[in-house]
Amino acid sequence: MHIVITGGAGFVGARLARTLLARSQLALAGAPAASIRKVTLIDRAAPPADLAADPRVAAVVGDLNDLLASAPGSVLPADTSLVFHLAAAVSGECEADFDLGMRSNFAATNALLEACRRLGSRPTLVFSSSLAVFGDSPEQPLPELITDQTLPTPQTSYGIQKFIAEQLVADYARKGFIRGRSVRLMTVSVRPGRPNGAASGFFSGMIREPLAGLRAACPVADETPVAIASPARTIEGLVRAAEASDAEWGPRTALNLPSLATTVGEMAAALERVAGPAATALLDRTPDPAIRRIVKSWPGHFETARADALGLRRDASFEAVVRDYVRENPDEVKLPLQA
């Protein structure tokens, strides 16, 4: 089996690649498990050294739009069975630069779907959408609980672009060009590494940076609700979407992944239980109205019946998520930990 991951050098893409390579097999769309022969990582950056050293990994470095226009065979070789489409411009970037968002999130997805169509082999495509397709507004308030039947009402360019892409995936699947699976990722925290341009980036930064002994922004109020999923639960959702049979998957509409409902204040309290008051003393509580406006529009509570039926699960607690980060990234933790 040949698997392609767009955005494969990013945090989620690299972790997904490592997970797939460690498994070495995948039961694609309910079929018997087959060996993973090759994983191609597409990204603007080179993949991490451990992945680059794996003989099963091929790296294609460049802009996805440019590659699909000039060398589509390098992105989607004829033997491609499965595509994980993770490449995207993130929320804050898209609000600041409309053209960037449309190029990265709409045009690239459309071009990738056309490339899949030209293969003529109906590859499976798993698209990483976002909870940002749901947005609260005075004119159309969100319900308290988001379910699989809740109508998306995005309030940001990023959310709108993700919802457009979901609909494109659904239509290409309806026409039989691909087997389409769109999954709506929750806020992934705690992410290691450098901050990115996502409006939600501080949800990781407010944990990651204090654990490293650094100050971190916490620009919204403690009562702000958050729908969290750990990196591990996020990868589980992506892989399960690829493995589910058509009957298990059900309708072509996107699936909400399970989330842990928490608040910014509860996240800070979990940080303090793990690393003490010295950690929370490093949080900068200066409000940021632009971040607040985006984050406040997102829902915090989900009921995920479809995902539950697939055997997916939410994280037990945010403290457990923080302790998982500490265990996986010991070199990034500088503060003494609480027992």
Domain ranges of the chain: 2-185+231-256, 199-225+260-332
Confidence class of residue 213 from pLDDT cuts 50, 70 and 90?
very high
For residue range 292-315, what is the model confidence (pLDDT) as tens digits? 999 999 999 999 999 999 999 999
Of 3.40.50.2000, 3.40.50.300, 3.40.50.720, 3.30.530.20, which CATH number belongs to 2-185+231-256? 3.40.50.720
CATH of region 199-225+260-332 = 3.90.25.10
> Does position 268 have pLDDT exceeding 80, yes or no?
yes
Element (H, E) at 133: none
Tokens at residue 187, please? 């806020």
Say what the pLDDT of residue 324 is.
Answer: 97
Please report, for residues 5, 118, 178, 306, the alpha-carbon distance to residue 81 in angstroms, rounded to integers and kept in the order given: 11, 13, 10, 24
pTM across the whole model: 0.96
Q: Would you list the DSSP string of 151-167?
A: PP---SHHHHHHHHHHH
Say what the pLDDT of residue 74 is.
Answer: 94
- Residue that is written with structure tokens 């009921």 in the block: 303
Catalytic residues: 158
- Residue that is written with structure tokens 């409006």 in the block: 199
Mean per-residue pLDDT for 86-108? 96
Say what the pLDDT of residue 34 is.
Answer: 98
Q: Which amino acid would we find at residue 83?
A: V
State in Å, rounded, how far the first CA of the chain is from the last one.
Answer: 45
> Does position 242 have pLDDT exceeding 90, yes or no?
yes
* C-alpha 121 chain-centroid distance: 26
Say what the pLDDT of residue 197 is.
Answer: 75
The answer to whether residues 124 and 83 touch, using CB atoms and an 8 Å cutoff, is: yes
> Does position 339 have pLDDT exceeding 80, yes or no?
no
Mean per-residue pLDDT for 96-111? 97
